[in-house]
Structure 1
């Protein structure tokens, strides 16, 4: 029984390995596709998270843009007031009330300065800025470039932020004043009066706009990209934020500022969700199902193929497979000159075993004979069942007569051993006829007929010398 199971395992092992390999490939392919789809979903979740962050940043950007524009508007109101007094001799006291009102209205404004002819003549509040009175911007290397730019461009210029001596950082708004000599005079034809300057406290400006380092679990930074955008400088917030995979929105600000608002979630981008887990679970399940289906399908194909080429009872090769291998060896013989041998084995008086013990015992005897023949052959040999109690052994290569006789004797000695099953002992007899290719025949069909005739000749001789079964004796298969 153990040899029967081993034989069935060996006969089906190639199909099992092939089915297993294809099933694994199908499963791994499905897992790879699932992983790719999962990655796409994760990327989409991150993209959606970035869109949500961008929406939050848009609100913060709008507040900051509004606050800076409002402050610049205050400066423009001051410029309009200065223009109204263009024909009057400059007196600082004339501008105290409006300057004080602007500072009180906008807490981001730290101070206001007026510089007719680019010389600072008035500053509000006077303390602690009194020492700055009389400053000629043209002689100040740090402040003159922005004043000159405003004067030449005739537009508002915002510089900074700069570190203040009295502490903190500030933005400097330079508003050039070009009063009109008459109504409708073009700006290009107006004469330069001087410059009005507003000093904005950066911290107060950000607070007034509701800009904080962290808003709704979003880390914020404000970056100055510079005039040409080549160098970025962190103005506010986390300095390391620019190194993260952040969301950036440009700030549309007056005065030539090139700022960006950066945002990054405190917990990083979210790439997990029920969509990912559902996709992975369903994808893995489908991959497993496809793998199992592939295994069963390939196994069934090999099983059907094996059934078509093997005897269902013994698992040995059937006549079809035997003849295929014989034709292959015959074709090889034409090239190499090396033939093959066949041995036709037939059990004598097999029918009495079925009649006396039943077909189940007869089937077990046939299985045992197949095992015995296989035990006497090489791995390259083929043992086939070609009839009810007929077997053929195919051995590649030609044998000399002594070798053939020895092989037949050894094979018969093993086959004709007593078969014991379910308490019964059955004598086994067999007849063998052999033939050599291409010595005895030039075709496979002729070779089979030669071996068959020799087997029946041997059977006839055995019957002539056979002894009768004793009374109350055991029927024999031979």
Structure 2
């Protein structure tokens, strides 16, 4: 009887010890895992902050460089306006060239080529070898000259090897004298070419760019990859294949460059904040496991408040609406207005059905990249639905500006998306609306743009949509 009674009391007590031990072990394991996870989030935040600082440096450098190139193009247009006169002599050209570029350190020389044959150059001394040069006979220079002729606009080319044996960049400005006032550019005769030769090292120096500055390494590459990879234009070659942050350089012509930045010591993820998080996490786990769950809830709240679309990195609807409200307030004060463009991909569901959601996600990310590449830095590109995007453009547009912008967006979107073994055709429907011309509230503005987009989609013929989603090539 005594043994039986002892078993009755000892078995529940033993079971309670095991349950308590199991709960304690689970709490410890869970707490340690949560602490490790939170520490990882803190590391990600620190790395993201580090990258944001690098992007801020890049943005400043990009603005300065694009400004210097723009200044060179403006000088080229001034040269174009001067040179269209009879009996121009080398002496006159040298006087004008001296006034134009002697105070601009990164412009090495000016050239004037009637019918694409160099006739005048400044400074003349040291550049005599270039006089009489027929651009058409120089394979390294003729494509950019031909591009300027065909586009009838200024372009930046290079770096190229000069006949003098040096490596420089060039601004090509087609000279198109009007036969009568306000003659359209497309109808003007081609007279020749004005060329500004830029010293790339001096140009980058004028833009405040160096290979290393303020703890960061910089480089500029051509984003068009050759068989050997991207071409290095400037800076540290090691950045080309690193996880450096980058921004596109918007320059006239076919140049598609990117500017890269990377910290001298690599991305920082270790700091006192990380070690304090681990230490406090261990202490809290040992004292009371529920504190870790409260911390996770706070982290979840912070993540839920994020303003970016997790797939594309674009603004989400919340951030878009916030910026629209800001523009409404600005517009109500100064009447500047703004435009929205509501874009919806055509036949996106068949892409997911045929290739899977992973490919569909890649298509959405590519669309986001194309929209960002086509828009200005002041514009906002947002993903507001599965395959729906909105471009928010500050400032009212004229009708021809709006149509031109719509065409550029459509041209970007409708480029094929290439996969190994297949090419996917893409198209989209776009609706637009203007504030305050067409609507007085954000809700009405979105409704108008949405209605126009769906009207375009409904009137699009079945034949114009990509009936065959992909052309097999493998």
- With the shorter chain as reference, the TM-score category is 0.5 to 0.7
For the residue of structure 2 that corresponds to 1:212, the secondary structure is: coil
Q: Does 1:281 align with 2:273?
A: no
Q: Is the 1:168–1:201 contact (alpha carbons within 8 Å) kept by the matching residues of 2?
A: no
Further displaced range: 276-285 or 112-121: 276-285
For the residue of structure 2 that corresponds to 1:29, the secondary structure is: helix
Aligned residues: 284
Deviations 1:111-158 (A, max 9, x none): 211110111111222222212221222222221111111111101121
Q: Is the 2:58–2:247 contact (alpha carbons within 8 Å) kept by the matching residues of 1?
A: yes
CA 1:77–1:292 in structure 2 vs 1: closer, same or farther (change >3 Å)? Answer: closer
For the residue of structure 2 that corresponds to 1:260, the secondary structure is: strand
Aligned match of 2:42: 41
How far is 1:167 from its partner?
5.4
For the residue of structure 2 that corresponds to 1:41, the secondary structure is: helix
Q: Does 1:103 align with 2:101?
A: yes
How far is 1:105 from its partner?
1.8
**Pick aligned residue for 2:233 from 226, 232, 235:** 235
Deviations 1:212-251 (A, max 9, x none): 11111011111122399x9622111111112222111122
Q: RMSD between aligned alpha carbons?
A: 2.9
* 1:404-415 equivalences in 2 (<5 Å): none
Q: Aligned equivalents of 1:227 and 1:242: distance in 2?
A: 11
Q: Is the 1:120–1:136 contact (alpha carbons within 8 Å) kept by the matching residues of 2?
A: yes
Q: Aligned equivalents of 1:96 and 1:164: distance in 2?
A: 20
Deviations 1:375-420 (A, max 9, x none): xxxxxxxxxxxxxxxxxxxxxxxxxxxxxxxxxxxxxxxxxxxxxx
How far is 1:202 from its partner?
0.6
Q: Aligned equivalents of 2:178 and 2:225: distance in 1?
A: 31
- Structure 2: gaps spanning 5 or more residues: 1-6, 292-474
Q: Aligned equivalents of 2:138 and 2:158: distance in 1?
A: 15
* 1:132-211 equivalences in 2 (<5 Å): 132-164=130-162, 166=164, 168-211=166-209
How far is 1:292 from its partner?
12
Q: TM-score, with normalisation over the residues of structure 1?
A: 0.55
For the residue of structure 1 that corresponds to 2:160, the secondary structure is: strand
How far is 1:289 from its partner?
2.2
For the residue of structure 1 that corresponds to 2:237, the secondary structure is: coil
Aligned match of 2:113: 115
Q: Aligned equivalents of 1:42 and 1:30: distance in 2?
A: 18
How far is 1:168 from its partner?
4.6
For the residue of structure 1 that corresponds to 2:183, the secondary structure is: coil
- Structure 1: gaps spanning 5 or more residues: 1-6, 294-478
Q: Is the 2:129–2:164 contact (alpha carbons within 8 Å) kept by the matching residues of 1?
A: no
CA 1:143–1:282 in structure 2 vs 1: closer, same or farther (change >3 Å)? Answer: same
Q: Aligned equivalents of 2:61 and 2:259: distance in 1?
A: 9
Q: Does 1:71 align with 2:69?
A: no
Aligned match of 1:124: 122
Aligned match of 1:340: none
Q: Aligned equivalents of 1:121 and 1:186: distance in 2?
A: 27
Q: Aligned equivalents of 1:164 and 1:139: distance in 2?
A: 13
Q: TM-score, with normalisation over the residues of structure 2?
A: 0.55
For the residue of structure 2 that corresponds to 1:114, the secondary structure is: strand
CA 1:239–1:193 in structure 2 vs 1: closer, same or farther (change >3 Å)? Answer: same
Q: Is the 1:169–1:203 contact (alpha carbons within 8 Å) kept by the matching residues of 2?
A: no
Q: Aligned equivalents of 2:154 and 2:212: distance in 1?
A: 31
Aligned match of 1:216: 214
Q: Is the 1:227–1:258 contact (alpha carbons within 8 Å) kept by the matching residues of 2?
A: no
Q: Aligned equivalents of 1:52 and 1:80: distance in 2?
A: 42
Q: Aligned equivalents of 1:216 and 1:288: distance in 2?
A: 43
Q: Aligned equivalents of 1:69 and 1:192: distance in 2?
A: 23
Name the structure, 1 or 2, with higher relative contact order (CA <8 Å, separation 6+): 1
For the residue of structure 2 that corresponds to 1:142, the secondary structure is: coil
For the residue of structure 2 that corresponds to 1:113, the secondary structure is: strand
For the residue of structure 2 that corresponds to 1:175, the secondary structure is: strand
Q: Which has the larger radius of gyration?
A: 1
For the residue of structure 2 that corresponds to 1:160, the secondary structure is: strand
For the residue of structure 2 that corresponds to 1:226, the secondary structure is: strand
CA 1:96–1:227 in structure 2 vs 1: closer, same or farther (change >3 Å)? Answer: farther
How far is 1:14 from its partner?
6.0
* 1:62-461 equivalences in 2 (<5 Å): 62-83=63-84, 85=85, 88-164=86-162, 166=164, 168-226=166-224, 232-290=230-288
Q: Aligned equivalents of 1:80 and 1:54: distance in 2?
A: 39
For the residue of structure 1 that corresponds to 2:204, the secondary structure is: helix
Q: Aligned equivalents of 2:36 and 2:166: distance in 1?
A: 52
